[in-house]
Amino acid sequence: MRILGLDYGTKTVGVAVSDAMMLTAQPLETITRKSANKLRQTLARIEAIIVEYEIEKIVLGYPKNMNNTIGERAEACEAFKEDLERRTGVEVILWDERMTTAESERILMAGGVRRENRKAVIDQMAAVLILQSYMDAIR
């Protein structure tokens, strides 16, 4: 069994996948779209990843506000969750992602990744952190 981790953004979706034993999360790719509302190709790519990696569960980063309230981004995430479940038939778990992008930035900086290169992988790194924290919590 493998789990897919997603960091859903306005124009990108960071993607990470677990190893077969569900111990570690690895970055996979960043799916980019031209418009926030154009999800057809994004969902199609996620479907292809589900088949390729034999995904049985999806963990979707849930961007709650720091005071634990639900804002506009979290509502968009809830709608994306419904679209994913309807289209793929795979269970989607919302997972608190507060501070994952900031933590991703710190990790990439500490690793010596240049600023112009960080943008290309920051969403993937956030997806890795979301997925890894979920897997650590269920162990």
pLDDT at site 132: 94
Domains of the chain (ranges; CATH) run 2-138 (3.30.420.140)
* Mean pLDDT for the chain overall: 90
- Helices (H) and strands (E) counted in the chain, each on its own, are 4, 5
Q: What is the mean pLDDT of residues 59-86?
A: 91
The rounded Cα 14 to chain-centroid distance in angstroms is 5
Q: Is 85 in a helix, a strand, or coil?
A: helix
Q: Is the pLDDT of residue 118 over 80?
A: no
Kindly report, residue by residue over 59-69, the tens digit of the pLDDT: 999 998 778 88
**Higher-confidence position of 112 and 57:** 57
Q: Which of 128, 130, 131, 59 minimizes the C-alpha distance to 98?
A: 130
Q: Which of 58, 54, 76 minimizes the C-alpha distance to 9?
A: 76
Q: What token pair was written down for 83?
A: 């679209």
